[in-house]
């Protein structure tokens, strides 16, 4: 039997899916790639929060699994929303690549004044670090973002370092330190989602990396308790149980933050609830400013 694995059509999504197909092939399992277009790929002229956030990249693939058009889908795990449809399971979490953001720039760093990013988190963290920066909206795949940087529309753009590595791209610039620029939950992680069928899920089980799964499950537990989705600037990163989580004002002027060692998902939920209470005013502000209903 040949598995049908769905993916978005971007170069990065295809690179990630080809990696999974290669890992399956090493185990004697055949798979074919099915490319599916999502609303997030076609509606590039508007901010992500205006079309439903990162989840728009996942919804079409979820639907295809549930219809039986494909057996599984490969995602950047940070794109997978907290609320998931019944009938699906995350059957494998690959070993994590770099979780860091990468600031790509061709001019000297001290000459950077206009930075491109569509992420409310990246915008807030950049402004916290350098309030004089102008952070302008930037959507599109990695190639599009790099092209706009080279055309001079921005002095710098922020990209996930893991994505550049998976595409084999080397750009001038530097990774941003994860303690000051706390990544999105699950950044740098690839996940496989399939229908909730033990026979299908079991096929992908050998690809699962248990230490990464625990770290990202801790991050997701905190994310779920804090709420706010991609609308509220928040960074949540765990490595070997060492958790940093923060919620920021949209302009980076204020933030609430916790740093703890967390051993279990249950403990992570407790700290997520604590951060939600600490950051309640910031979360309300973000929803109001963006015109999003909680």
Answer whether 238's CB lies under 8 Å from 218's CB.
Answer: yes
Using alpha carbons, select from 39, 36, 42, 38 the residue that is nearest to residue 7.
Answer: 36
* Active-site choice (62, 71, 79, 155): 79
253 neighbors 292 (Cβ within 8 angstroms): no
Closest CA to 238 of 161, 165, 192, 186: 186
φ and ψ at residue 203, rounded to 5 degrees:
-65, -35
Examine the residue annotation and report whether 69 is marked as an active-site residue of this protein.
Answer: no
Tell me the backbone φ, ψ of residue 243, rounded to 5 degrees: -105, 135
DSSP label at residue 183: P
Q: Is 92 exposed, middle or buried (0-12, 13-18, 19+ CB in 10 A)?
A: buried
Q: What is the DSSP letter of 110?
A: G
The DSSP bridge pattern shows strands 101-105 and 156-160 to be antiparallel
Contacts of 128 (CB under 8 A, 6+ apart): 248, 252, 253, 255
Residue 108: its H or E element: none
Q: Which DSSP symbol is given to 177?
A: P
Quote the CA–CA distance of 79 and 56 in Å, as a whole number.
8
Positions marked active-site: 79
């Amino acid at each position: 039997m040949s598995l049908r694995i769905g993916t978005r059509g971007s170069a990065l999504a295809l690179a990630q899916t080809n990696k999974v197909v290669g890992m399956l092939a090493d185990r004697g399992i055949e798979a074919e790639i099915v490319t599916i277009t999502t609303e997030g790929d076609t509606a590039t002229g508007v901010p992500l929060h205006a079309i439903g956030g990162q989840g728009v990249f996942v919804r079409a693939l979820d639907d295809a699994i549930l219809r039986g058009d494909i057996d599984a889908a490969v995602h950047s795990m940070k794109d997978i929303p907290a609320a998931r449809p019944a009938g699906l399971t995350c059957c494998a979490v690959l070993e994590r690549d770099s979780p860091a953001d990468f600031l790509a720039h061709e001019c000297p760093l001290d000459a950077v004044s206009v930075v491109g990013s569509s992420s409310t988190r990246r915008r807030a963290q950049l402004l916290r670090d350098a309030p004089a920066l102008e952070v302008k909206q930037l959507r599109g795949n990695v190639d599009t973002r790099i092209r706009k940087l080279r055309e001079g529309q921005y002095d710098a753009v922020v990209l996930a370092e893991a994505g550049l590595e998976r595409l084999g791209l080397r750009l001038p610039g530097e990774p941003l330190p994860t303690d000051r620029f706390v990544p999105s939950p699950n950044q740098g992680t690839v996940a496989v989602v399939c229908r909730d069928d033990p026979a299908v899920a079991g096929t992908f089980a050998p690809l699962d990396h248990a230490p990464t799964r625990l770290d990202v499950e801790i991050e997701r537990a905190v994310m779920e308790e804090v709420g706010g989705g991609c609308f509220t600037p928040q960074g949540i990163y765990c490595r070997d149980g060492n958790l940093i989580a923060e919620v920021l004002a949209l302009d980076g002027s204020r933030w609430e933050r916790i740093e703890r060692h967390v051993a279990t998902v249950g403990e992570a939920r407790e700290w997520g609830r604590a951060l939600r209470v600490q950051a309640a005013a910031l979360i309300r502000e973000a929803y109001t400013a963006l015109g999003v209903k909680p």
